[in-house]
Amino acid sequence: MPDPRLIVQNALKTGIAIPAFNVPYLPMIEPVVLAVADQDSFAMIETARLEWFKFEAGGPEAVAKEFFRWQDPDHVSLHLDHIPVIDEDGQRVDYLADIQQAIDLGYHSVMVDGSRLPLDENISATRQVVELAHKAGIPCEAELGAIVGHEARPLPPYDEMFASGEGFTKVEEARSYVVESGCDWLSVAIGNIHGAISVGLKDQKKVPARLDLDRLQSLARVTSVPLVLHGGSGIPQEYVLASFKNGIAKINIATEIRQAFESALQSTGKISVAQDAVYDRAVWLIGGFLGLAGIQGLVTQGMP
């Protein structure tokens, strides 16, 4: 298995990003793996805690079992996404136990999300997870800033949020956060939003979010680590591709393939048709929208 740390670092040097696909339904894993391999790309298959409770991913063990059933080590790795210290419902989470379980199951990288904590507590929580991850020889992603969308409440008007910059990652905090926490990758808030997960909102089309590229450039300069763009679905292509040239080396995609799966399953009742829809959407995203077909050799260069 290629080292995800080196793969993301190679993506950063090359001015591209590694797509990371969330799989809220286990049958989505096979078609995503096939799409990545057929495009000769590299991607992460990832699962977030909310997908175990709000959808049907089942949990880290269920996802790992399905991933290793279909894995193609030359093209995909397994990432633990969004394990919050405080979740979208405001509840405290036993995040260290969840992350240790994933490490024990063989996940290749992990994420802790302390973004709902005060800065000093976020640093402390992240440092704990970094120690667990590095002890196991894998990288740790963290988050600074508030990337909204997973809460049950409707979002305020997007233009108001963007204009205010409320919740955006602060450049003056980012440098010390990375140094003091020791995180390998940093998820930043620069106008991106998550797709809604609450009933009544999750089927809606995402707002076409914009990105504050000037802020992104500053964050890349002061942190000197690969940055991560969450909420990648629905962002106009010009912003996404520009972000790759300005420090984003990993992009999370959930809504695009989740809605393809749900829509096909609802209209036909057939999992195989829903899987085909996921495959087709993933192929389009990788090769058409993101321009990441054929990158496997670039991001795995220098590896055995």
pLDDT in tens, 178-227: 999 999 999 999 988 865 544 444 555 656 778 999 999 999 999 999 99
> Residue 227 in contact with residue 220, Cβ under 8 Å?
yes
> Residue 103 in contact with residue 133, Cβ under 8 Å?
yes
Clarify whether 94 is annotated catalytic.
Answer: no
Give the pLDDT confidence score for residue 56 in this predicted structure.
92
Give the pLDDT confidence score for residue 197 in this predicted structure.
43
- Look at the pTM and tell me if it is higher than 0.75: yes
For tokens 């930043």, the residue is: 188
Which residues of the chain have a pLDDT value below 70? 1, 147-156, 194-207, 303-304
Give the pLDDT confidence score for residue 258 in this predicted structure.
95
Give the pLDDT confidence score for residue 203 in this predicted structure.
55
Angle at 106 between CA 100 and CA 112, to 5 degrees: 40
> Residue 268 in contact with residue 292, Cβ under 8 Å?
no
Give the pLDDT confidence score for residue 194 in this predicted structure.
66
Q: CA-CA distance, 76 to 95, in Å (whole number)?
A: 25
189 φψ region: left (φ > 0), alpha (ψ -120 to 50), beta (else):
beta
Set 3, 81, 87, 184: catalytic member: 81
Q: CA-CA distance, 194 to 198, in Å (whole number)?
A: 12
> Residue 129 in contact with residue 109, Cβ under 8 Å?
no
Give the pLDDT confidence score for residue 200 in this predicted structure.
42
Give the pLDDT confidence score for residue 304 in this predicted structure.
60
Q: Which domains does the chain have, with CATH numbers?
A: 4-299 (3.20.20.70)
